[in-house]
């Protein structure tokens, strides 16, 4: 070991002993603390955005299911076979057609609506459920948190072991 290295070790020894025993004072880096505060705020906003997007996805999914079911109910409601049941002479149930018949155009429009809503649900539902962007956001958020927390912990460890001597100009 050179003389310069030995003198560095001797000058750093008191602080290293104090750091190991827990009696040294912590160094503060205001710029880093500001970045860390900004990062935690961004984390909160990102979490809120992800939660809102998941709620939106669930609401759109429920709406698509509701509209498809509503279309099916309208088809049943406007069908020409709907009416009052009467019993046949033999005791079998017979459906009597409604007296005022639904116009063909209205029945066709209801059928088209039901088919369109069912197709729309079938087209969009897998994309909503699969939601690759939401999964990617969750994975990235988790990876960034782990990486940032490790970096912060590493920085805190190095600051604790080096303390004020880390900013020394003796190199």
Residues 75 and 96 both lie in one domain: yes
Residues 79 and 101 both lie in one domain: yes
Residue 164 has pLDDT above 70, yes or no: no
Distance CA 119, CA 160 (A): 62
Residues 65 and 110 both lie in one domain: yes
Residues 135 and 125 both lie in one domain: no
Residue-wise pLDDT for 12-45, tens only, equals 888 888 888 877 777 788 999 999 999 999 889 9
Residue-wise pLDDT for 62-73, tens only, equals 998 999 999 988
State the total domains in the chain. Answer: 2
**pLDDT value for 7:** 92
Distance CA 125, CA 137 (A): 20
Distance CA 36, CA 163 (A): 19
Residues 151 and 82 both lie in one domain: no
Where are the strands (E) in the chain, listed by range?
85-87, 93-95
Mean pLDDT of the chain: 76
Residue-wise pLDDT for 131-154, tens only, equals 666 677 777 777 666 666 666 666
**Domain span at 104:** 34-129
pTM score, whole prediction = 0.54
Distance CA 12, CA 168 (A): 10
Residue 167 or residue 152, greater confidence: 152
Task: Specify if 12 maps to a domain.
Answer: no
Task: Specify if 23 maps to a domain.
Answer: no
Q: Rounding to the nearest 10 degrees, give the CA dihedral for residues 93, 94, 100, 106.
A: 90
Residues 63 and 115 both lie in one domain: yes
Residues 140 and 60 both lie in one domain: no
**pLDDT value for 167:** 45
Task: Specify if 144 maps to a domain.
Answer: yes
């Amino acid at each position: 070991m050179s003389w310069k290295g030995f003198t560095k070790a001797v000058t750093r020894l008191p602080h290293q002993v104090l750091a190991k025993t827990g009696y040294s004072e912590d160094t503060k880096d205001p710029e880093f603390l500001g970045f860390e505060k900004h990062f935690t705020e961004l984390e909160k906003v990102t979490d809120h955005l992800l939660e809102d997007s998941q709620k939106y996805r669930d609401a759109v999914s429920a709406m698509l299911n509701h509209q498809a079911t509503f279309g099916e109910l309208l088809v049943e409601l406007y069908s020409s076979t709907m009416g009052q049941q009467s019993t046949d002479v033999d005791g079998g149930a017979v459906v009597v057609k409604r007296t005022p018949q639904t116009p063909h155009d209205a029945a066709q429009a209801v059928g088209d609506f039901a088919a369109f809503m069912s197709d729309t649900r079938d087209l969009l539902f897998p994309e909503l459920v699969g939601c690759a962007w939401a999964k990617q956001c969750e994975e990235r958020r988790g990876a960034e948190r782990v990486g940032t927390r490790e970096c912060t912990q590493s920085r805190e460890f190095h600051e604790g072991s080096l303390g004020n001597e880390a900013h020394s100009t003796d190199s």
